[in-house]
Amino acid sequence: MNTKKNALLAGLVVVVALAFAVMKTTGQEAAEAKQRTATEQWEYLAVTGASTGLTPIDNPRLRKEPNASFAREAFALEQLLDKLGANGWELVAVSGPPTDPAYYFKRRK
C-alpha cells in the first residue's frame, strides 16, 4: 500500500513539475515576442504621381491570370509590386483618386 502511495505521489510531482515548466516556457515566449515587437523598426516608401507608369495592358499573353473575369491588368503596376515585394516591401495602403493613386509600402529595417 505504501508503495502505491509513493508511486502516486511521485507521479503527481512529475505532473506538477511539467505543468510548471509549460507555464514558464509559455510566459517566456510571450515576453520574448513582446520584446521583439517593441524593438522592430520599419522604413516606409511612398510611390505617387503620373511617373509610376501604371498603364493597364490588354494583351492576354502578358496577363498573369489570363482566364480571370476582370477586363484588364495593370501590367506595369504588377511588375513594380513584384520588384518591391522581392526587396521586402509590403503594400500597406493605397489612397487618392483612381487616376492618380498613392501607394504606401513598409519593410523591416
What is the structure's pLDDT at 100? 83
What are the phi and psi torsion angles at 87 (to 5°)?
-95, 10
Distance (Å, whole) CA 105 – CA 82: 12
Q: Residue 105 — very low, low, confident or very high, per pLDDT cuts 50/70/90?
A: very high
CATH 3.30.420 fits 42-108, yes or no: no
Q: Residue 107 — very low, low, confident or very high, per pLDDT cuts 50/70/90?
A: very high
* Cβ proximity of 90 and 105 under 8 Å: yes
What is the structure's pLDDT at 23? 64
Q: Residue 40 — very low, low, confident or very high, per pLDDT cuts 50/70/90?
A: confident
Adjacent-strand bridge partners of 108: 42
Q: Global pTM?
A: 0.51
Q: Report which of 60, 47, 59 is spatially closest to residue 105, judged by C-alpha positions.
A: 47
**Any alpha helices (H) in the chain, and if so which ranges?**
2-39, 75-86
* Cβ proximity of 48 and 103 under 8 Å: yes
